[in-house]
Structure 1
């Protein structure tokens, strides 16, 4: 574990970034620094302001503002483990704030909201509408992000949904925007759910919330994997346990259920909006199926073993692109396969997963390929 010091107006934090030992990948960036600085005068003199932090990444905001006893909500489950780890590195802070996901969102009103601006324009549009419903009438929103990661339409999104008071000067390639609540709410917005027809499965419609990958059309890597999923479950034992890992809208697990509804299928994702979306789709299409939904950064230790794990691994985390997430998921999958169980996965060809899989599995077979993607079946003899 590599740690580094974040120095800010109220003190300093020792922070680590879970999931990597790369010393160049810090647990905070300049946007976190500017947001912490901007919070000093943002509550407008409110005595004991109620503070909400939205989509903190690794705990820099939550710990830096711990003196305000903030309520915390994040889509990604990575924050929960990171916050626990980084709280242990800073024992002098009171890091006992309430932590929520979109599965159990907090209730307002809030006097001050501190938000990391997401990379997806639709998710930003939904977030701002949701915040309009929980901010106090005189509440302040401070939204910040790295300029290169801001959505292309972010200026229009802010203009349509909230009242922008001030765009603070950019520093260290980061920007913070100070806003007041607007009138737009999620219930008035048709973009909350978007989806497509899953052809070949009675033309079922699958939908997803704004933070979910490939919510408007079937990802081409997933498309290559789907026929192999159907093949893999045809000969499965009744009641076989299947895991749709990094499930997104749940399309891989739904393909397994379309072939065999006697399977036990679990849907895991690091995004709480993905878990909600998969539940929304599966429970409409297969109301009698034996299913479970887990919001977790990978596979939880208590989930047991699976006969088949389905995976289209993410290859980016924030602004970092690479195979570090996939490697972690491969290791977890290897530990959670039943004897004779198999991992069925699709990945980007250029990431060379045939080499990575050998670290964790003794048996690897390429089942399909396209110019951009490769499908593998892996297991341990």
Structure 2
């Protein structure tokens, strides 16, 4: 078994019992656990859930918690508010007094875990501290899952948001630039990487037939709630870019993610560009906003006959890609 991440390496030397299949892992991160004992997994990420499912693990995907949780391992996320959400969920849905182990990187909020546990009145101890990570063990308490959803106003829309969603609680500047120059859309339109649903709602308000996709179930639920809050309709699906949708579309619109944890990765955008060229109508177009430093132009020209820059600033570019 091989662990490539510091958190996984800390677990490997201190907690062989976590390889026991009674443990629930939420959310699963470290690939070193894939090929050992079969685990129960709770994932909010459709792509990660598919990987674990293919390796034969028992996977619960989405916001509905698994039943019968008694021992759990929580990989502390980089977003503190999302970590608080996970703590509240596990307290609400595990039997009181269940064993909860939490592993976190110090620069990713791991040092603040004891304070979060103390705030909730949870007894705990630190089991290990190495590789700039810490491992804690706590006992769950009876608690409420809480309401971590929030709303804000932008573009004359009510937008619903949640910790763990891109641009949580605000309109991203790149998305604003994209919508400022995006032509009016009609027909069948896809929002790829829907986030809080602002692009989907903006398109649906114009009368477009909207399909929204994301791998993050918090984003999918936020988009559903955003559409409902504005009296709008659209189809919302879990999909790794365009894997789960059938074309053709009159337009595909996206502000694609380019971070994998702290690393820059254009893999999601690369996949979107490659797939979009095959799922557009003959006169359809792909619209993307991206940070100016990202090397998308060559990839776009490889798959599309024409690429135009609709807007540009020191930070962002908005591209339009079409067959001609």
Same structural fold, with TM-score higher than 0.5 when normalized by the shorter chain:
yes
Contact 2:96 2:142 in 1 (8 A): no
Q: Aligned residue for 2:212?
A: 267
| Structure 2 CA distance for partners of 1:121 and 1:249, relative to 1, 3 Å | same
**Mapped partners of 1:96, 1:306: distance in 2:** 35
How far 1:152 sits from its partner (Å)?
Answer: 7.5
Normalised to the residue count of structure 2, the TM-score between the two structures is: 0.90
Equivalent position to 1:316, from 243, 254, 259? 259
**1:53 CA displacement:** 1.2
The counterpart of 1:296, out of the listed 239, 243, 258, is: 239
CA positional deviation for 1:170: 2.2
The aligned counterpart of 2:40 is 71
- Correspondence for 2:152 among 193, 196, 200: 196
Q: Match of 2:181?
A: 228
User: Judging changes above 3 Å, is the alpha-carbon distance between structure 1 residues 345 and 55 closer, same or farther for their aligned structure 2 residues?
Assistant: same
Measure how far apart 1:380 and its partner are.
Answer: 1.6
Are residues 1:216 and 2:169 paired?
yes
1:170-181 equivalences in 2 (<5 Å): 170-181=129-140
Task: Measure, in 2, the Cα distance between the counterparts of 1:36 and 1:113.
Answer: 16
CA deviation profile, 1:32-63 (whole Å, cap 9, x unmatched): 233355444579xxxx9843111113653354
Change in Cα spacing, 1:241 to 1:161, as seen in structure 2 (3 Å) is: farther
Q: CA deviation at 1:301?
A: 4.6
What do the CA deviations read for 1:329-361 (whole angstroms, capped 9, x no partner)? 221222222222111110001113223322322
Deviation at 1:156, TM superposition (A): 3.2
User: Can you give the 5+ residue segments of structure 2 that lack an aligned partner in the other structure?
Assistant: none
Match of 1:347 among 270, 273, 290: 290
CA distance in 2, matches of 1:207, 1:302: 24
Change (3 A) 1:147 1:279: same
The corresponding residue for 1:6 is: 2
Shift of 1:29: 1.3
CA 1:132/1:84 → structure 2, altered by over 3 Å: closer, same or farther? closer
- Greater alpha carbon shift after TM alignment, 347-356 vs 337-346: 347-356
Alignment equivalent of 2:201, drawn from 254, 264, 268: 254
Q: Secondary structure at the match of 1:6?
A: coil
CA shift in 2, pair 1:162/1:293, >3 Å: farther
Q: Distance in 2 between matches of 1:164 and 1:332?
A: 50
Question: Aligned Cα RMSD in Å?
Answer: 2.5
Relative to structure 1, the CA distance from residue 150 to residue 355 in structure 2 (aligned partners, 3 Å threshold; closer, same or farther) is farther
Consecutive unaligned residues of structure 1, counting only runs of 5 or more, are 8-27, 88-94
CA separation of 1:111/1:376 partners in 2, compared to 1, >3 Å: closer, same or farther? same
**Alpha-carbon distance between aligned partners in 2 of 1:294 and 1:180, rounded to the nearest angstrom:** 36
**8 Å contact from structure 2 (residues 49, 61) kept in 1:** no
Aligned to 1:16: none
What CA distance in whole angstroms lies between the structure 1 residues aligned with 2:166 and 2:57? 31
SS class of match (2:163): coil
- 2:7 is matched with 31
- Larger mean CA deviation between 264-273 and 33-42 belongs to 33-42
SS at match of 2:277: helix
* Distance across 2 between alignment mates of 1:57 and 1:170: 19
Partner residue, 1:114: 73
Secondary structure at the aligned position of 2:130 is classed as coil
The residue aligned with 1:276 is 221
Are the counterparts in 2 of residues 209 and 215 from structure 1 also a CA contact under 8 Å? yes
Aligned residues: 324
Q: Which of 163, 188, 208 lines up with 1:241 in the alignment?
A: 188
Question: 1:105 offset after TM fit, Å?
Answer: 2.9
Deviation track 1:205-260 (CA, whole Å, cap 9, x = no partner) reads 2111222111211111111111233x241xx3xxx111110100110111111222
- Contact 1:221–1:373 (CA under 8 A) maintained in structure 2: yes
Deviation at 1:284, TM superposition (A): 2.7
* 2:83 is the alignment partner of 1:124: yes
Task: Decide whether the 8 Å contact of 1:345 with 1:377 is kept in 2.
Answer: yes
